[in-house]
Structure 1
Amino acid sequence: MNYKIGIIGYGVMGKIRHQAIDEIKKGVVVAVSEPNGETEIKGIPNISHEEIINHADIDAIIVCTPNFLNKDLTIRALNAGKHVFCEKPPAFTGADILEIQKAEAASGKKLMYGFNHRHHDSVMHIKKLIDSGEYGKVLWLRGRYGKSVTSDYFNQWRAKKELAGGGILMDQGIHMLDLFLYLSGDFDVVKAEVSNLYWHMDVEDNAFVILKESATGKVASLHSTMSQWRHLFSLEIFLEKGYMVLNGLITSSMSYGEETLSIAKNRSTAPAATWKDEIVTKYVDNNSWRYEMDHFFDSITADKPIAIGNSEDAYKLMRIIDKVYEQKEF
């Protein structure tokens, strides 16, 4: 089926989603909504948010707006009988997600969230290996995710709590927390320190988060930062029988470096620090945007649940973020 699609928010992410939709050829964008834009963008009508939501011909809506609009637009689109794909964060709190889930259940439509990192080929390979049991249970995870921001950051909506909901944790760290959950399961203990020592805004510029699963003792740690002065992505997973380390992430600017996955089984002889048995894979293509859109539209066509990035995934994630922000002191 060739779905008719509306995109609300036609900035960087709206354009990326549009390109992916064109590439997979499972739908066509018939309208976009970008305030203060031209009446047509690339020959496509640019209409209001309300017109997109109530458009009789539109089957699915892609929400690519500033964070504070995500919850309201998602609920309104579901209530209007549209399938919805929404960028992260899904909302500001776990309680928000419960409201969204009520609208989702009443609508009978599909709802998927843009936790894009789950769809990178490297992460998909890690997930497959962990689920196979070949490397045993996950013992601990460590994630570092940082970037350098420009001097005009103060003027951006991301720097304002009422518009963004939070700082670097909501912007970037949310992806790493989502990967922790996706690759290893839930956590019930959350300890955190958040600070704004450099930018002195009402949102954090650094977040240090420790997660624990009481039943198994599994621990994960995250440092999410915008005062690192360079872009960095690093995910380390250590299991009973080996490790998986992902450094770098393919982006359009390649500012995070090459996406390189290193995997090794436990060594039985000393010295422990040897590299000859390590398998290193470099990923050169970013297929994640297409994979994501494929999953969304395939779920609609087959009328099957969203398996990757559903509202329950969103709820578990936002409950952790709730607990982090409950502990902030600045």
Structure 2
Amino acid sequence: MRHNIGIIGYGIMGKIRHKAIDEIKRGNVIAISEPDPAHRHENLPNLDHESVIAHPDIDIIFVCTPNFLNKDLTIRALNSGKHVFCEKPPAFTAADVKEIREAEKNSGKKLMYGFNHRHHDSIMYMKEMIDSGTYGQVLWLRGRYGKSVTEDYFNQWRAKKDLAGGGILIDQGIHMLDLFLYLSGDYDIVKAEVSNLYWHMDVEDNAFVILKDSKSGRVASLHSTMSQWRHLFSLEIFLEKGYMVLNGLITSSMSYGEETLSIAKNRSTAPAATWKDEVVTKYIDNNSWRYEMNHFLDAIESDVPVKIGNSEDALKLMTIIDDIYAQKDF
């Protein structure tokens, strides 16, 4: 079965989604909506947003726009009887997500969010091993996700609170928070320090976050930053019987370094710790975009719930982000 697809927003993410759709050969992009001439596709009709949403031949809408448009376009597309795939963040607040979920329920259509990191082979393997119980329960997690930006960032929509909804946390840190929830479960206690000490923009340049699950005592810590002065991705998970450490993430620019997963069971003999029995796997292919598209289309064609990146996941995530931003002091 091949679906007719419309893409609203044809910048970097719109093009990435189009490429993945073409690669899996399960859909045809028949129209886009992109106001910037630099991003238009020569061989596709470029329509206004409403024309794509109302197009009688389109059954799936991809929302790949600046953040402030995500909620409205998602609701309008669902109300128009289309399945919707929307990039992160789903909206600016948890209350917004609740409105979206109501439209989703009334439409009977599928809605999925682009929390792409869940679909990396390394993350999928970590999830499999955690769920297997081989290493026992998760005790704590530590995530660091950072990048460097230059002064031209001030001219981008991501630097404007009314367009982006927030800074580095909602831009990049949201992925790490999502992985915390995906790999270890829910958290009900949130403590945070959110600052803009260097760039002095409308939005934060650093977020330091501590999460705790009051039932299990499990703790997760996040540092999300745009004053890292280099790109960095690091996710560490320590369990009762071992650990998993993922450093680097495959991207088109490879600016985060090689995607390398190190796993070991308890292997330290006091007083000296050794590393000789650590299993190290380097991932060289990024299959995540195709996996993500297949997951979404499988849910549509089989009429089953979206399991990864659904609106319930989005609500839990935005509830935590609400709590974090409530604690910022600038």
1:39/1:327 Cα in 2 relative to 1: closer, same or farther (>3 Å)?
closer
8 Å contact kept, 2:258–2:284: yes
Tell me how far 1:267 sits from its aligned partner.
1.9
SS at match of 2:37: coil
| 1:287 aligned residue | 287
| 2:150 aligned residue | 150
Letter in 2 for 1:120: H
Q: After superposition, what is the alpha-carbon deviation per residue over 1:9-55, rounded to whole angstroms, capped at 9, x for unaligned? A: 00000000000000001100000110143897131111111100000
CA distance in structure 2 between the partners assigned to 1:199 and 1:152 by the alignment:
11
Q: After superposition, what is the alpha-carbon deviation per residue over 1:214-235, rounded to whole angstroms, capped at 9, x for unaligned? A: 0010000000000011000000
| 1:222 aligned residue | 222
Letter in 1 for 2:173: G
Letter in 2 for 1:147: K
1:187/1:38 Cα in 2 relative to 1: closer, same or farther (>3 Å)?
closer
8 Å contact kept, 1:141–1:221: yes
CA distance in structure 2 between the partners assigned to 1:20 and 1:186 by the alignment:
31
8 Å contact kept, 2:10–2:40: no
Tell me how far 1:150 sits from its aligned partner.
1.9
8 Å contact kept, 2:130–2:136: yes
| 1:26 aligned residue | 26
| 2:307 aligned residue | 307
Tell me how far 1:151 sits from its aligned partner.
1.6
8 Å contact kept, 2:34–2:40: no
SS at match of 1:41: coil
8 Å contact kept, 2:10–2:39: no
Tell me how far 1:67 sits from its aligned partner.
0.2
1:169/1:38 Cα in 2 relative to 1: closer, same or farther (>3 Å)?
closer
TM-score by length of 2: 0.99
CA distance in structure 1 between the partners assigned to 2:305 and 2:37 by the alignment:
35
8 Å contact kept, 2:11–2:39: no
Structure 1 residues 58-137: aligned runs within 5 Å: 58-137=58-137
CA distance in structure 2 between the partners assigned to 1:137 and 1:46 by the alignment:
51
Letter in 2 for 1:327: Q
Aligned-residue sequence identity (percent) comes to: 80
CA distance in structure 1 between the partners assigned to 2:284 and 2:245 by the alignment:
17
1:13/1:270 Cα in 2 relative to 1: closer, same or farther (>3 Å)?
same
1:136/1:40 Cα in 2 relative to 1: closer, same or farther (>3 Å)?
closer
CA distance in structure 2 between the partners assigned to 1:306 and 1:290 by the alignment:
16
Structure 1 residues 308-323: aligned runs within 5 Å: 308-323=308-323
CA distance in structure 2 between the partners assigned to 1:28 and 1:240 by the alignment:
47
1:312/1:151 Cα in 2 relative to 1: closer, same or farther (>3 Å)?
same
CA distance in structure 1 between the partners assigned to 2:327 and 2:151 by the alignment:
28
CA distance in structure 2 between the partners assigned to 1:39 and 1:289 by the alignment:
20
SS at match of 1:44: coil
Q: After superposition, what is the alpha-carbon deviation per residue over 1:86-120, rounded to whole angstroms, capped at 9, x for unaligned? A: 00000000000000000000000000000000000
CA distance in structure 1 between the partners assigned to 2:179 and 2:251 by the alignment:
17
8 Å contact kept, 1:37–1:46: no
Structure 1 residues 129-278: aligned runs within 5 Å: 129-267=129-267, 269-278=269-278
Q: After superposition, what is the alpha-carbon deviation per residue over 1:137-179, rounded to whole angstroms, capped at 9, x for unaligned? A: 0000000000001220111000000000000000000000000
CA distance in structure 2 between the partners assigned to 1:268 and 1:192 by the alignment:
33
Tell me how far 1:275 sits from its aligned partner.
1.1
SS at match of 1:56: coil
CA distance in structure 1 between the partners assigned to 2:178 and 2:22 by the alignment:
27
CA distance in structure 2 between the partners assigned to 1:168 and 1:136 by the alignment:
33
Tell me how far 1:182 sits from its aligned partner.
0.2
TM-score by length of 1: 0.99
Q: After superposition, what is the alpha-carbon deviation per residue over 1:231-280, rounded to whole angstroms, capped at 9, x for unaligned? A: 00000000000000000000000000000000000025234521111000
What RMSD, in angstroms, separates the aligned Cα atoms of the two structures? 1.1
Tell me how far 1:74 sits from its aligned partner.
0.2
SS at match of 1:181: helix
CA distance in structure 2 between the partners assigned to 1:80 and 1:245 by the alignment:
44
1:40/1:296 Cα in 2 relative to 1: closer, same or farther (>3 Å)?
same
SS at match of 2:215: coil
CA distance in structure 1 between the partners assigned to 2:215 and 2:291 by the alignment:
34
CA distance in structure 1 between the partners assigned to 2:228 and 2:118 by the alignment:
24
CA distance in structure 2 between the partners assigned to 1:274 and 1:39 by the alignment:
52
Q: Which runs of 5+ in 1 are unaligned?
A: none
8 Å contact kept, 1:39–1:46: no
